[in-house]
């Protein structure tokens, strides 16, 4: 039972819970950005570049061969081509750059808000007990002198 209690204490620490929330929100944010890249940004970008779809770009390192058939019998098996699919890599790099830029903009806005909070003048401190007492004495003296 000691291990279960220790694990429960570990799992319920604030840092672990904060990290779990951050990972979940980060995953959701990543999905949103990926959808933005694939569904909103890449189609117009591909149109501007002459209907280019980067995912089909590749370099063939070794050509493939079709199967050789003799009637219904396979004489020689088909051989897949060996390709270097750099177009998918280009799409992934573009996706990463947009995610990185989005996060940079969010952090920049957050830092700007933090600076504004720091620059705001602090409210004046409340008067001490002595000052409050002296103010009351002064007010009482003013009232008695007026009479």
Alpha carbon 132 to its chain centroid, in Å, reads 51
Tokens 């990290």: give the residue: 19
pTM of the model: 0.48
The predicted-structure confidence for 11-66, as pLDDT tens digits, reads as follows: 777 677 777 888 888 888 778 877 877 788 777 877 887 766 677 778 888 877 77
The predicted-structure confidence for 91-124, as pLDDT tens digits, reads as follows: 788 778 877 887 788 889 888 888 877 776 777 8
Alpha carbon 134 to its chain centroid, in Å, reads 56
pLDDT at 103: 79
pLDDT at 124: 81
């Amino acid at each position: 039972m000691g291990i279960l209690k220790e694990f429960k204490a570990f799992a319920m620490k604030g840092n672990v819970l904060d990290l779990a929330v951050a990972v979940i929100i980060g995953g959701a944010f990543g999905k949103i950005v990926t959808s933005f890249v694939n569904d909103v940004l890449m189609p117009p970008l591909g149109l501007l570049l002459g209907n280019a779809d980067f995912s089909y770009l590749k370099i063939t390192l070794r050509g493939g061969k079709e199967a050789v058939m003799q009637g219904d019998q396979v004489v020689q098996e088909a051989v897949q081509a060996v390709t270097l699919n750099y177009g998918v890599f280009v799409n992934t790099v573009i996706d990463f750059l947009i995610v990185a830029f989005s996060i940079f903009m969010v952090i920049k806005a957050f830092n700007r808000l933090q600076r504004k909070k720091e620059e705001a003048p602090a409210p004046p401190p409340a008067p001490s007990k002595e000052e409050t007492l002296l103010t009351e004495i002064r007010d009482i003296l003013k009232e008695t002198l007026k009479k």
